[in-house]
Amino acid sequence: MDVTEGYLVAGVAGADTVETVWMPEGDEGEHGDGSEQDESKSRNRATICVSSQVGCAVNCQFCLTARLGLQRNLTAGEIAGQVIAVLDRHAVEVGRNRVNLVFMGMGEPFLNYDNFMAAVRLLVEEAGLSPQRMTVSTSGIVPGIERFAKEPKEIRPKLAISLNAPNDAVRSEVMPVNRKWPIKAVMDAVSGVKLRPRERVTFEYVLLGGVTDRPEQAREVARLVRRPGLPAKVNLIAWNPGPGIEYAMPSAEAVESFRQRLMGEGIAAYLRKPRGRDIYAACGQLKRTVESSALIESGSTPDQHRS
């Protein structure tokens, strides 16, 4: 089924919902770890984008979810339950079909740390999923990264940092959380994570037209992520327009030029296809969009939108 699907998944109380996204061809965020060898088998590259909170308190300026504010933390069962519900719907056999999980949906996982890691334990120990096929993305919550660095590698997912700016001045504008934990503090904490062989830290970088997509900024980004002993890659995401958010999309030329400049600096850089754009399910766009999603309940059918 070659379509991106967005779901609203009801919380235990049924009064609030979070969004979960199934991307049958992956989000191209995992290149470099071997999953691209399975490109002919779409299910083998499928990715599920999982939420960790209802809304979010972090207030990234380009993000629709931020508009909700934080409503509540999800429980471990609610976080893991999103995955189980989507695996069930697609009849995925864990162990035979390779599925990636990205904790990049609604919310900041490291501000709901205990429930997030308890969900990971459930998914690894009870559902049999591999932590090496899971990636958690944080906006740079330093105490959370420091705790994460102490997790045993048997259950620790891979780490992605939502960087999104070339320096502290721009990042503090785009992501106010940077005023509390600036880039150097984040990078120092990241350096404390003991990576597995061939594992890399991912830096997510949303390109905002005229704000973070300028050619000279690519060199700054390269300087930030190039650290001795820290294998890294950069995932570029062309910003997805959202109602009421005053940023501009970058041009296709600016996106490609940015990627080329990073590569020229020796940084592995990939462009993530925003497969969910047309259902507002791409990065930073998860917010209740009831009209275009459906509640996972027995008998209900999710809307499907070609991506």
Residue with smaller CB distance to ligand SF4, 8 or 106: 106
97 vs 115: CA distance, rounded Å: 26
Using the minimum distance from each CB to ligand SF4, give the nearer residue, 58 or 165. Answer: 58
Sign of the C-alpha dihedral computed for residues 257, 259, 264 and 265 taken in this order? positive
Answer yes or no whether residue 49 interacts with ligand SF4 by CB under 6 A.
no
Q: Which of 5, 19, 28, 204 is catalytic?
A: 19
Is 56 catalytic? The answer is no
CA angle 213, 215, 221 (to 5 degrees): 75
The single residue among 82, 139, 178, 202 that binds ligand SF4, judged by CB under 6 A, is 139
215-225 vs 252-264: helix axis angle to the nearest 10? 40
Give the nearest distance from C-beta 19 to ligand SF4 in angstroms. 11
Determine whether 19 is an active site residue: yes
Contact 63, 56 (CB under 8 A): yes
- Give the strand pairing for 294-295 and 47-49: unpaired
Should residue 165 be labelled a site residue for ligand SF4 when binding is judged by CB under 6 A? no
Closest to ligand SF4 by CB, 98 or 171: 171
**Residue 19 engages ligand SF4 in binding (rule: CB under 6 A):** no
Q: Residue 35, interface with ligand SF4 (CB under 6 A)?
A: no
Asked if residue 54 binds ligand SF4 (CB under 6 A), the reply is no
- Of the ranges 78-86, 100-108, 214-222, 243-251, which one interacts with ligand SF4 (CB under 6 A)? 100-108
Per-residue contact track with ligand SF4, 56 to 95, x per CB under 6 A? x-xxx--x-xx-----------------------------
Nearest to 202 by CA among 157, 251, 150, 137: 137
Q: Which of 29, 81, 284, 302 binds ligand SF4 (CB under 6 A)?
A: 284
The letter for the amino acid at 149 is A
Q: Are 124 and 154 in contact (CB under 8 A)?
A: yes
Beta carbon nearer to ligand SF4, 92 or 236: 236
User: Which residue, 124 or 207, has its beta carbon nearer to ligand SF4?
Assistant: 207
Footprint on this chain of ligand SF4 (rule: CB under 6 A): 56, 58-60, 63, 65-66, 106-108, 139, 284
Which active-site residues does the annotation give? Answer: 19, 283
